[in-house]
A and B are shown apart, each in its own frame.
Chain A
Amino acid sequence: MNRHLWFPSAILLLWLGMAIFGPLLDLRPDHIELARILVPPGPGAWLGYDDLGRPLLDRLVAGASTSFFVALWVVALSAVMGTFIGTIGAYAGGVWDHIIVRIIDIFLAFPGILLAIAMAGLMGPGIDNVIIALSTVGWVGFARLARAQVLSIKQRLHVEAATALGVRPPLIIVRHIIPLTLAPLIIEASFAVAGVVIAEAGLSFLGLGVQPPEASWGSTIRDGTRYMLVAPHMVLVPGIALMLVVLAVNLLGDHLRDRVDVRMRQAG
């Protein structure tokens, strides 16, 4: 393995471990100790306590689980929906493609997570609604990428040969086109994970994400902003965790992209 990758890999493994094994540990993210309200990190206090006297380490692990599963669901749903829609548009061409391009343009007209904010706000808070809102925004990137890929791949000779042999379009798409679009889609997915982690925490920061007492790094940061002078650890702990995960995902995404680029250069 590339020696630069130990750092992002370690961070992501830790994140994954906290998300998967966290629920198995004897953690008490909702346990309130009034005597320990806003106690800073120190001996016997690990990462300190929050404004209700709950242990921040336990809430950090529970928050990791929230961000991981939201990211997993949103990226999976967006990738499947987006690839499906983009591929259909590019392969069918004509009016269908035209309509799909227009729909993509309309979704792209909502800057950043504005549409997700509006949807999550109107549907009401809760982790399901966060996933729905972020997937509604997230599929567009995949659709655009899949469409561009399929447009060029469907011109290739092996697709023409398959068509000439009488292979039916669904089979051509699944067997002869989709596999060739996977590399760029995986890269897009890795960057999408970073975006979704930030977006989930952002929605929770705005009070539109998971509901208390469920833990999210974003809501801990929001609660912490009220006590910054006396207890900066409430903002620092979840913020550093969030930044490390996003940084690690971006570094891995960069690395993947560089590798694919090299292969493309060699092939060309």
Chain B
Amino acid sequence: MLNFILSRILSAAIVVLGVSSLVFFLIHLVPGDPVEVMLGESAQPTDRTALRHALGLDQPVAVQLLDYFSGLLRFDLGTSLHTQRPIADLLLERLPATIELTIAALLIAVAIAFPLGVLSAVRKDSAWDHGARVVSLLGISIPHFWLGPLLILVFSLWLGWLPVSGREGMASLVLPALTLGTALAAILSRMVRATLLETLGEDYVRTARAKGLAEHAVILRHALCNALLPVITVLGLQLGALLGGAIVTEMVFSWPGLGQLTIEAIHRRDYPVVQACVLLISVTYVGVNTLTDLAYVWLDPRVRLQ
């Protein structure tokens, strides 16, 4: 058990190290001279030298890499070229909005997926089941950047129920969270259906029915609880799609999170901020995945008691 936890943490650490190195080298993708791209062609030579020095680009790559990692260890991510503020501060400002959006999307997805999945499994091959299948196929096929504008069109512009964009109060969270959560709800509901159908065929479910338990107790207590484990794994893996989708969703709704910061920084050519955003989002994802793995072990008594 302890060995498993340690090995998971160790492999997460290796991945984080690899991710940080890859992010470091991203700046070298900028065609030509990144300093010139950032400042424009009309910049003064002294400004260029100053920026080159500020970014450490006048040092050998090995020294740059060492500086970068020692900075990371001290949570020093450098300064934004655009605002001249420490990048760590910028990230901390934007992080709560992204966490809020992601968790709300996750909750909406779970709230839609479980009833839908249970219904299609219990009433397999009924009109409900086929309807749920169609809905989930549509949910997977609608990209965030189209679903978002559609929801704005219907609920904000035509019906006037919810705000168009921004982050003020709970009402402004509804449409972004729904946009981000729909695809996950679609995937999750199919997963719930499939695993529930599997557990419903198990011996212990037959036993539960044989001893005269009410059908809802059989489904909720015996079948669904056992169907949860694979669903949780999928949930952890899908969180990546959620974090990735948050970038686009934040742009659609002008949601002031990390995704919006990333895209704004790209358009302003504030490359150190882009690097820091990509790093933070990826490391968060690795962290959540590792926690999911550990939670899986803890939740499964067969593994926990070994």
Contact = CB atoms under 8 A, between A and B. Distances in A.
B153 interface: yes
Interface in A235-261: 235, 239, 242-243, 246-247, 250-251
Contacts of B19: 106, 109-110
Given A102-B14, A123-B30, A235 B153 contact: yes
Contacts of B189: none
A25 interface: no
B141 A243 contact: yes
Interface stretch (B70-78, B212-220, B262-270): B262-270
Interface stretch (A37-45, A167-175, A223-231): A223-231
Interface residues on B, range: 35 or more
Interface residues on A, range: 35 or more
Nearest to A228: B153
A242 B22 CA distance: 32
Interface string A185-216: 00000000010001001100111100000000
Given A112-B240, A235-B146, A247-B138, A118 B152 contact: no
B150 A121 contact: no
Interface string B247-260: 11001100000000
Given A105-B18, A122-B274, A208-B266, A246 B141 contact: yes
Q: Mostly helix, strand, loop or mixed at chain B's interface?
A: helix
A205 B263 CA distance: 11
Nearest to B284: A111
B88 interface: no
B241 A111 contact: yes
B298 to A, nearest CB: 22
A250 B266 contact: no
B281 interface: yes
A124 B146 contact: no
A110 B263 contact: no
A123 B137 contact: no
B150 A110 contact: no
B266 A205 contact: no
A114 B274 contact: no
A110 B141 contact: no
A241 to B, nearest CB: 10
B232 to A, nearest CB: 18
5 contacts: A114-B247, A114-B282, A117-B263, A222-B145, A242-B143
Interface of B: 11, 14-16, 18-19, 22-23, 26-27, 29-31, 137-138, 140-146, 149-150, 152-153, 157, 239-245, 247-248, 251-252, 262-263, 266-267, 271, 274-275, 278, 281-283, 285-286
